Chains A and B, each alone.
Chain A
Amino acid sequence: MKKTIIEARDVCYKYDGTTALAVDHVTLTIAEGEFLAILGRNGSGKSTFAKLLNALLLPTEGSLTVNGIAPATEDDCYEIRKSCGMVFQNPDNQIVTTIVEEDCAFGLENLGTPPDVIRSRVDEALHSVGMTEYAQASPAMLSGGQKQRVAVAGVLAMRPKIIVFDESTAMLDPIGRRDVFALARRLNVEEGITIVWITHFMEEAALADRLIIMDNGRVAIEGEPRAVFGQTERVMALGLDVPEMMKLAAMLRERGVSLPGNIMTVNEMAVELCRLK
């Protein structure tokens, strides 16, 4: 049994001046080293939940522990933010300086980290995201995917145990998207960082260890991606989509072709069809 790193029990959040709960009694545990994807239509509570995870918002009800800390005081919040980093949708909102390496150092500088430690951690972080050669560049001259990698480096320099990606690929082109997703996967596998990956892209969610679909602030479906997407009609009714091959499999089944229920990729589909012919 893996160690739990995030534990949410009946967590609720209500924004001031609204009546509905944005996050409505979410109970969820996330294991250390897990890669968890969260899907859900706009307004389903995904981003609010993300902000609860690094104490940008505090639950209005219920209990939440992140890396063993339940945020009660302001100091707790700072501790949580050190262990749980966040990468947002628009890198332009997250990058604050005019030189890449200074941007990565920003968090550490604010903690009063000694300069030599900052130097080594920033170098390491930029190396890890493959942006070493851009250390002296201006973020304004980078592509969206590169900016997002710089944002990840800034988070990595803080040596977090968890990184929450809140639709971090939404504004990127296909190459940038692939790069940033692959980076998150590598940090997860090689460095054991727990990843919470919030997205609108089914093909990314399909590659997670576990998938949660949120709707109206609640966890609507939870499970291994194949099992979740296998509930095609339910997923579609929640305003989402399923991978193309699952749709095709459903169409073929309707026409009497007998196919296993867990086909998700082109490769799997090709192999099954060849077997049938």
Chain B
Amino acid sequence: MPIEVKHLTHVYMPGTPFEAKALSEVSLSIRDGEFVGIIGHTGSGKSTLITHLNGLEHSEPGVVFVNGVDLGEKDTDLIAIRRVVGLVFQYPEYQLFEETVAKDVAFGPTNLGLDAGEISERVQTALKQVGLDPASVSEKSPFELSGGQKRRVAIAGVLAMRPSILILDEPAAGLDPSGRRDMFDLIRGIHASGVTVVMVSHSMDDVGRLCDRLFVLNRGEIAYSGTPAEVFVHESKLHAIGLDVPECAKLARRLRDAGFDMPEGIYRTEDVCAAIMDNLTQKGDAKC
């Protein structure tokens, strides 16, 4: 099991007037090669949770495990863990700092002490992986690039560490619709290459389309978990905690209430379209 969390509780600034419980008794496990979504509104504990997964926040022994290694043990090599678990923060382009794109992407591998040939091979591969042409961008300043390209460079910097688990915090925030589509295609590609992906998001639409399994966080606790279909069934409760289900899931529920025969838990546009067609061709006596 690449990630295993057992009863994780986290309190910020304990013993001060600002004491705040960010996570309470969170348990979850993420399987090899899964694409998992973590969703919740601001302050629900999403960011605190993911910073535990690569040891940026320290946990007690016996709570957080990555590939069987207990991150809370004193002698655990957290640097090694951070090579395995790549973390892409929100707006990662703000972290770019080097003179050239190639140097920025090379920063991590260089710190690993790899030789020059290996570093340059990793930089090239990572840039290609994020859809940038190494020949044309390598020597540019990262600050000359567009917002979407900068973000790709930042992700390439994490990929160059060759993580087997990649965690992304709101990777599409602030991008325009076509930029979002491209970003999600990119992440799908990374996942297809065998990387376990954990994506944090506010958007049920996005996680519904991409993820195999979701964890919904509310006030530091896991409120719901399961496949998107299993989670979207809780439409009204999700709404109460500030989350929305995809539009098509709402439509399916409305139509079901009106007497349409709609399968439980459908939310994809294509599936809802097909179910509607089945109903219209049968002709029942629905009332609205």
Name A residues whose Cβ lies closer than 8 Å to a Cβ of B.
Answer: 40-43, 89, 143-145, 167, 170-176, 200, 202, 239-241, 243-245, 247-248, 251-252, 255, 257, 266-267, 269-271, 273-277
Given A239-B176, A248-B251, A274-B287, A143:B242 Cβ within 8 A: no
Q: Shortest Cβ distance from A204 into chain B, in angstroms?
A: 13
Residues of B within 8 A of A41 (CB): 176-179
| A residues in contact with B42, CB < 8 Å | 143-145, 172-173, 175-176
Query: Is B211 an interface residue when CB atoms closer than 8 A count as contact?
Result: no
Contact of A170 among B173, B178, B242, B283 (CB under 8 A): B173
A174 touches B244 (CB 8 A): yes
B191-214 near A? 1/0 per residue, CB < 8 Å = 000000000001101000000000
Q: Is the CB of B269 within 8 A of A200?
A: no
CA distance A202 to B176 in the complex (A): 10
Q: A42-B146, A270-B254, A276-B280 are in contact. Are A171 and B286 (CB under 8 A)?
A: no
Q: Does B81 contact A (CB under 8 A)?
A: no
10 new A-B contacts, CB < 8 A, other than A173-B202, A200-B175, A277-B279, are A41-B178, A42-B179, A173-B41, A239-B177, A244-B246, A244-B248, A248-B273, A257-B276, A273-B280, A274-B258
Cα of A188 to Cα of B202 in the assembled complex, Å: 27
Q: Which residues of A contact B242 (CB under 8 A)?
A: 173-175
Q: In residues 148-181 of chain B, which contact A (Cβ within 8 Å)?
A: 148, 173-179
Q: Which residues of A contact B250 (CB under 8 A)?
A: 266
Residues of the A chain whose Cβ atoms lie less than 8 Å from the Cβ of B246 = 244
Please provide the chain B residues from 5 to 63 with a CB less than 8 Å away from any CB of chain A in the complex.
Answer: 41-43
Listed A/B pairs (8) with beta-carbon separation below 8 Å: A41-B179, A42-B146, A170-B174, A244-B205, A244-B269, A251-B273, A266-B251, A274-B287
CB distance from A198 to the nearest CB of B (A): 11
Chain B residue contacts of A144, Cβ below 8 A: 42
Contact indicator A277/B247 (Cβ below 8 Å): no
- Evaluate whether A171 and B280 lie within 8 angstroms (CB atoms) in the complex, with A41-B179, A244-B269 already known: no
Q: Which positions in B face A, CB cutoff 8 Å?
A: 41-43, 146-148, 173-179, 202-203, 205, 242-244, 246-248, 250-251, 254-255, 258, 260, 269-270, 272-273, 276-277, 279-280, 283-288
* Best-surrounded residue of B41, B176, B177, B273 (most CB of chain A within 10 A): B176
- Nearest chain-A residue to B174 (Cβ)? A170
How distant is the Cα of A276 from the Cα of B285 in the complex, in angstroms?
Answer: 10
Residues of A within 8 A of B273 (CB): 248, 251-252, 255
Residues from chain A with a CB closer than 8 A to the CB of B248 are 244, 248
A273 and B283 alpha carbons, distance in the complex (Å): 11
- The distance in angstroms between the C-alpha atoms of A275 and B247, with both chains bound, is 20
| A248 and B272 within 8 A (CB) | yes
**Of B246, B260, B284, B288, which is in contact with the most chain A CB atoms at under 10 Å from its CB?**
B288
CB distance from A94 to the nearest CB of B (A): 16
B288 near A271: Cβ-Cβ < 8 Å: yes
The answer to whether B178 and A240 have CB atoms under 8 Å apart is yes
Complex Cα–Cα for A143 and B242 (A):
14
Look across to chain B and name the residue whose beta carbon is closest to the beta carbon of A178: B242
Could you say which residues of chain A place their CB within 8 Å of the CB of B179?
41-42, 239
B residues near A251, Cβ cutoff 8 Å:
269-270, 273
Query: Closest approach, in angstroms, between the C-beta of B91 and any C-beta of chain A?
Result: 8
Closest Cβ of chain B: how far from A276's Cβ, in Å?
6
